[in-house]
Amino acid sequence: MENDTSVTINGTQAAFSSNVNKFTFMFAFILISLYFLILMFQTFFSTRAFRESSRYVLFAHMLLIDTIQLLVAVILAILKMLMLRLPVPVCSVLIFISVATYLSTPLNLAVMSLERYIAICFPLRHAEICCVERAWIAMMAIWITGSAPSIADNILLHVSVRKSFFSTNVLCTRDSVTVTSAQTIFLFVVRIFMLVLVAMTIMYTYVKIMLEAKKVNVDKTSTSKARKTVILHGVQLSLCMLSFIFPLTDPFLKQLSTRLWYNLNYINFFIFVLFPRFLSPLIYGLRDETFRNSMKEFLPCHPSRVIPVRPSTT
């Protein structure tokens, strides 16, 4: 009897220690992520040339989307780890934001690729077509398009359950607010459709820029940089698609022991959800020489000096 009690206590202590380590690591990761994201935001808003460039406005918009997605994902993960229940309406709002931002990221990448395509293939009309005012219109369209599937999903939820369901408390996961197979199929089809559409857009802009590069009277340097930028958008899209792997691996992991599933689920969450959201904008920001040099000015260890900033053509 005493041995059983000792084993139970040791198991509880080990689980508690494991949770503390997970929270510590997650907290450190979020602090580092937020530091770099805030640094990039500060660089953008402190430099007039960036604020007046549609390309950098769209980049700042991508930063905003990924920051919101990162914070909401962490909130949902902490609630799940602590087994805390939320009222269904509150949980629905968090899931809504999570899905809307998830879908908005690839749409933003598609718009950024189109902006590079216009800059190379229609340079004389680029300033007119890709002005900052139109960039704001494009961002509004991105949010509307990214939010529409979640709105439709919530309508399906409301017509499928009784009103009493919304007065209950649930573990805030996607499964908790998915009560019909129609919701699952609908969101799966929407995600696949959007990712395929964005992939085709990026491929189209890449091919058109490649064809433009073969012309004799074009700026080879600008064309090459634009082509590499579009390739980078393809890499960023691939990082977005990594989050598709997370729900696919979860059913297989559930067949393992509870403790092993819990630990592997935590690792899965970091690799396929959090890390791509942090890495994607960081790669883009650091690759851009103009933005990178401006960002260095705001580092605590960097000596302050004035450097003229011009929007990059990459």
Q: Is residue 7 part of a domain?
A: no
How far is Cα 312 from Cα 164, in angstroms, rounded to an integer? Answer: 55
Return the pLDDT at 241: 66
pLDDT the model gives residue 163: 86
**Residue 85 falls within a domain, yes or no?**
yes
pTM of the full structure:
0.81
pLDDT at 244 (0 to 100): 61
Q: Is the dihedral of CA 15, 17, 18, 19 positive or negative?
A: positive
Q: How many domains does the chain have?
A: 1
Residue 41 lies in a domain: yes
Cα–Cα distance for residue pair 96/228, rounded to 1 Å = 34
Residue reference for tokens 């998915």:
178
Residue 20 lies in a domain: no
The residues with which 171 forms a beta bridge, in sequence order, are 85
pLDDT of residue 8: 45
Which residues in the chain land under pLDDT 50? 2-11, 305-307
CA distances from 265 to 106, 261, 272 (A): 25, 6, 10
pLDDT on residue 169: 92
Task: Please check whether residue 285 lies inside any domain of the structure.
Answer: yes
Tell me the CATH number at 200: 1.20.1070.10
What does the pLDDT read at residue 302? 60
- Is 12 within the bounds of a domain? no
In a domain, 203, yes or no: yes
Q: Give the pLDDT score at 254.
A: 62
pLDDT at 126: 87
Q: Which domain holds residue 279?
A: 30-296
Q: Where are the beta strands (DSSP E) in the chain?
A: 85-87, 169-171
Kindly state whether residue 290 falls inside one of the protein's structural domains.
yes
Q: Which pLDDT value is given to residue 10?
A: 46
